[in-house]
Amino acid sequence: MPTQKEIAKKLNISHVAVSYAMNGLPGVSNATRKKVLETAKEMGYMPNAGALAIQSGKFNAISLVMSHNPLLSYQSQGLLSGLIHGVSDIDYTMNINYVPEKKITNQADLPQILKAKISDGIILYYNRLIPAYLKNFLEIRMLPTVWVNSNTPTNAVYADDSQASELLTEHLIGLGHKNILYLDFDASHSQVKSGDFHYSNIEREEAFIQTMKNHGLKPESFRFEVVPKISESNNATRELLRRHNNITAIICYTCHTALHIRSMAAELGLNCPKDISIVAFKEEGSLFDYFDITAAVIPHNVMGRKSIEMVINMIKNNKLEHESIKIPTKLDIRHTSAKVKTKNK
């Protein structure tokens, strides 16, 4: 690959003149600048990103920091797509750093982002249980950092999960449902007590309870005491449906749970939505877009793009703090919710 010195030699001008022309600096004529750029293109010249970073102190890069454990950094296709398109739109690059949860005792085991400055800002994608050493690193490193899918008071971009839950609950109540059950199989009571949960595990349930109370209805919700085995979960689900035989609609924390409940209900002879309506929450751009489930759509793609916009704003304005952004959700009505079935007199 040709260098700036080789371009200068071919044009019989100084290396400094070529550098000025390539970097848009004053000190060379427009004719010389045009000739340098044309020659550089003809020779296949590409600037050295490392050299540019040394000169400017900027990498034009963002580091995405996440966990190897998918339960701690749920790898949503929609969110990752939003992040990737976000950096592409502004001609930045993104490097991905997987961070171990275990205590690190060997310097060689550190991810690259902890060893050296390799970017201008950080997107932190941790749903729960962020390692203490990583928190300490962020405080020491003093780089613009944005928490994605986390509801911290500052430097965060997240969905309005309370609104999403309210949308689903109001939708079912509008269809005449009064006996509605909220199910969260993704965080047990023991996990909630230990702090091992995503903020949406609490916000969605609380919004459901409040919306039901606003309509003078009695809310019912369920989560396991501890995370059960699959076989135990199936038996518990069947028993749950038998015990709550007055329930006409169920709100599920995820579409995975909704499909599971729909299958268990069918085993008991319940038709969805004729006998029971089943709705859920789903991530924008996920495979569940192809499933017939009424759901509140969590805007992961927008979340990714807005995270990039926030960290770039912090970089350009040399700030370490930014007001958090809460993104509204929407309702996608399919064929798993219907008007409550009236009993024949």
CATH at 112: 3.40.50.2300
Does residue 344 fall inside a structural domain? no
Q: Give the chain's domain count.
A: 3
The verdict on 153 and 254 lying in the same domain is no
The verdict on 93 and 18 lying in the same domain is no
The verdict on 151 and 270 lying in the same domain is no
The verdict on 287 and 181 lying in the same domain is yes
Does residue 40 fall inside a structural domain? yes
Q: Which of 168, 123, 161, 223 is nearest to 333 (CA)?
A: 168
Question: From edge to edge, which strands make up the β-sheet containing 145-148?
Answer: 93-99, 61-67, 121-125, 145-148, 156-159, 325-327
Q: pLDDT at position 142, please?
A: 82
Taking phi over 0 as left and psi of -120 to 50 as alpha, with beta for the rest, 206 belongs to: alpha
The residue type of 258 is A
The verdict on 145 and 172 lying in the same domain is no
Does residue 339 fall inside a structural domain? no
The verdict on 286 and 176 lying in the same domain is yes
Average pLDDT of the residues in 321-330:
97
Q: Is the pTM above the cut of 0.85? A: no
The verdict on 120 and 144 lying in the same domain is yes
pLDDT digits (tens, 9 = 90+) for 21-54: 877 777 888 899 889 888 988 888 776 655 555 4
The verdict on 39 and 75 lying in the same domain is no
At 11, which CATH number?
1.10.260.40
Last residue of a domain, one of 299, 315, 338: 299
The verdict on 165 and 152 lying in the same domain is no
The verdict on 289 and 312 lying in the same domain is no
Burial of 104 (0-12, 13-18, 19+ CB in 10 A): middle
Band of the pLDDT at 101, cuts 50, 70, 90? low
The verdict on 14 and 88 lying in the same domain is no
What domain range includes position 181? Answer: 161-299
Q: Is the pLDDT of residue 319 over 90?
A: yes
pLDDT digits (tens, 9 = 90+) for 56-97: 557 789 999 888 777 777 778 899 899 999 998 888 889 888
CA dist 198 and 324 (Å) reads 17
